[in-house]
Amino acid sequence: PTTRYYHFELKIIKLSPDGFERPVWSVNGQYPGPLIQANKGDRLVINVTNNLGDPATIHWHGIFQRETNWYDGVPGQTQCPIPNRVSFTYNYTLDQSGTFWYHSHFLAQYVDGLLGVLIIHDKEDPYLNYYDEEYVITVSDWYHSPSAPLLVQRVAPYYTGFNPYPDAALISGIGQYNCSAATAGLHCNSNVSPPTYNVQKGKKYRFRIINTSAYATFTFSIDNHPLKVIEVEGTPVKDVSSSVVKVLPIHIAQRYSVILTADQPVANYYIRASIIDSCLAARTNNTINYNSSINFNATGILHYNGADSNKPTSTAYSFTFPPCQDLNSSTIQPYKYSPAPTNVTNYFVFNVTSILNDDGVTLLGINGSSFIPIFNNPANQRIMLKENYTDFEENQNAYGYDIPNEAIQITLLNNQSANHPFHLHGHNFWIVAQGPGSTMANISTSKYNLKNPVIRDTTLVPAFSHVVIRYIADNPGVWAFHCHIEWHVELGLVAQLIERPTEFSNQTLPDDVRALCVEYNNYYKKQK
Ligand code: C2O
């Protein structure tokens, strides 16, 4: 194993991902940020210098952070925010492999561009010999306005509308926008060339696909090329005929690896990433950021070596499945036999609820309570510094459990008309049930799939539906569990799972984590 050092400078630059120029919150001046690649067992040491003007943190989505919970990057839960002009070093080992990503967890900064991809290679990957080369593709919604003013509108008192609407769809940070819809005088280019991926006829390619959206579910496909799913969020997938798909639905923060066989006539083919309009809430002209001219379809090009440079003439696959649902175990059953744990000692039922607060703001939350972090709240900070977190009952949306290696079951009931892609930090989980209906009466324990359930770290809980997950409490720490629609995070749809506090308190908190809170408190006082 090696130690890999990175330096991230967080700074705001001007960029035009879809041709429309706007300020972008970048890592080292790039969007998406630098690709991090490592091998299983390596250590990552990432020094982050914040020059954004505002505080920030970086979360490593899907990384377990065993014994390094304080580097999980969640402000108000695991660390204080990194103030402007301050550096902080994340330092952790990788005991997993597969496709991950990183993003700011501070306000909606990742919607403004602060994100990148993290790949962990593994010489024991069962699919290593199934492909010749690999590519990484991010798919994302994109907004022409910075997130801050959109958020102000979203949390305005008595606002009853929907989430801000994206202006464009991007593939690997590149999109096409029709500038005639843009306000005159702004810098805009309607002719951004699509991202191109070269292949050699006869070879096989692994594509890693990551949905880094704030709000959008995507479908992903490559004309004339069915895709064989081999990995879901770090878990290899069983090689069966139904793991081959023509169109892949991918929700926010989810990742897949697929294999493409370049066996078609030498030519150019469209790569298509489309926002599924019907998975978003209704678009009306009082929706924030309403934009009648949005192009929901981003395209890229699969270019066979030797083909001309003309535009593809290929046609899209049609699909009939409901894309606002997750793939199930017939497509993405784990490669290794991994039955769900049955020694469950803690059963949580989380109802997704709306909460009207005293200021007239309709928040979202779990079981009637929202998590809105107050970064300078001494009570919160004592938890982050592990001084007082055994009092978890008293803390916002905290759910504790303290028996080593017990299995935890969470039943998510979504009685809302919105879909909620839920992500668990520090773990992956078995999905033992999912289906329509949002009451306990809709769930029959005799129908639980305990034998070959899907394992992942982010799952969609569709509107008026339920999902039941299980995971093992093998990682002491404070772990966020939240809807990954960024607008919903900011409305409080977040819980804190306080895992094995007794053991966690015995781990030694690094001095720099403590020092960061001192820096933050100084910064906070100066701001006031
Ligand atoms: Cu992708 Cu709480 O994060």
The model carries a pTM of 0.97
Backbone angles phi, psi at 252, to 5 degrees: -55, 130
Average pLDDT score, the chain: 94
Q: Select the more confidently predicted residue: 383 or 502.
A: 502
Distance (Å) from CA 482 to ligand 1 centroid = 8
Mean pLDDT of 455-465: 97
Q: What is the pLDDT of residues 157-214, one digit of tens each?
A: 999 888 999 999 999 999 999 888 777 667 899 999 999 999 999 999 999 999 999 9
The strand ranges marked E within 340-476 are 344-356, 362-366, 398-401, 407-414, 420-424, 429-436, 454-456, 458-461, 465-472
Query: pLDDT at position 316, please?
Result: 97
Closest Cα to residue 180, out of 24, 289, 19, 14?
A: 19
Query: pLDDT at position 288, please?
Result: 85
Mean pLDDT of 289-293: 78
Q: What is the pLDDT of residues 233-253, one digit of tens each?
A: 999 999 999 999 999 999 999
Kind plus residue range of the DSSP H or E element containing 481: strand 477-483
Mean pLDDT of 401-429: 95
Rounded Cα distance, 505 and 500, in Å:
9
Three-state secondary structure of 196-264: EEEECCCCEEEEEEEECCCCCCEEEEECCECEEEEEECCEEECCCHHHEECCEEECCCCEEEEEEECCC
Provide the pLDDT confidence category of residue 286 given band limits of 50, 70 and 90. confident
Distance (Å) from CA 484 to ligand 1 centroid = 6
Mean pLDDT of 218-236: 98
Provide the pLDDT confidence category of residue 379 given band limits of 50, 70 and 90. confident
Q: Which atom of ligand 1 is nearest to the CA of 110?
A: 1
Query: Which one-letter amino acid corresponds to residue 388?
Result: N
Provide the pLDDT confidence category of residue 392 given band limits of 50, 70 and 90. low
Q: How big is the chain, counted in residues?
A: 528
Peptide bond into 164 cis (omega under 30): no
8-state DSSP, 65: -
Mean pLDDT of 9-38: 97
Q: Select the more confidently predicted residue: 475 or 379.
A: 475
Query: pLDDT at position 516, please?
Result: 95
DSSP letters of 277-305?
GGGSPPP-TTSTT--TT-B-EEEEEEEET
Ligand 1 binding pocket (C-beta < 6 A) is 59, 61, 103, 105, 253, 423, 425, 480, 482, 484
Domains, the chain: 1-123 (2.60.40.420), 127-334 (2.60.40.420), 344-523 (2.60.40.420)
Q: Which atom of ligand 1 is nearest to the CA of 61?
A: 1
DSSP letters of 142-156?
E-SS-HHHHHHHHTS
Query: pLDDT at position 390, please?
Result: 67
Distance (Å) from CA 337 to ligand 1 centroid = 27
Q: What is the pLDDT of residues 58-81, one digit of tens each?
A: 999 999 999 999 999 999 999 999
Q: Which atom of ligand 1 is nearest to the CA of 103?
A: 1
Distance (Å) from CA 458 to ligand 1 centroid = 9
Rounded Cα distance, 278 and 417, in Å:
12
Query: pLDDT at position 510, please?
Result: 94
Closest Cα to residue 397, out of 421, 373, 422?
A: 373
Distance (Å) from CA 258 to ligand 1 centroid = 23
Strand partners, 148: none
115-121: strand order across its sheet: 36-39, 115-121, 98-104, 58-61
Rounded Cα distance, 420 and 252, in Å:
9
- Return the biggest CA–CA distance within the chain: 66
Q: Which atom of ligand 1 is nearest to the CA of 253?
A: 1
Q: Which atom of ligand 1 is nearest to the CA of 482?
A: 2
Distance (Å) from CA 67 to ligand 1 centroid = 18
Provide the pLDDT confidence category of residue 375 given band limits of 50, 70 and 90. confident
Query: pLDDT at position 293, please?
Result: 76
Q: What is the pLDDT of residues 99-138, one digit of tens each?
A: 999 999 999 999 999 999 999 999 999 999 999 999 999 9
Three-state DSSP class for residue 378 = helix
- For ligand 1, atom 1, which residue shows the shortest CA distance? 61
Question: Is the Cβ–Cβ distance between 128 and 114 less than 8 Å?
Answer: no
Angle at CA of residue 424, ends 418 and 430, nearest 5°: 95
Q: Which two tokens stand for residue 120?
A: 């962990």
Strand partners, 139: 171, 211
Q: What is the pLDDT of residues 316-341, one digit of tens each?
A: 999 888 889 999 999 999 999 999 99
- For ligand 1, atom 3, which residue shows the shortest CA distance? 61
Query: pLDDT at position 394, please?
Result: 60
* pLDDT for residue 395 is more than 70: no
Distance (Å) from CA 496 to ligand 1 centroid = 12
What does the buried/exposed string (b/e) look like for 227-252 if buried means 16 or more CB atoms within 10 Å of the residue's CB?
bbbbbbbbbbbbbeeebebbbbbbbb
Q: Which atom of ligand 1 is nearest to the CA of 101?
A: 1
Q: How far is CA 513 from CA 5, 75, 203, 269, in A?
A: 19, 12, 47, 49
Distance (Å) from CA 263 to ligand 1 centroid = 37
Rounded Cα distance, 251 and 240, in Å:
23
Alpha helices in 15-103 (DSSP H): none
Rounded Cα distance, 497 and 407, in Å:
13
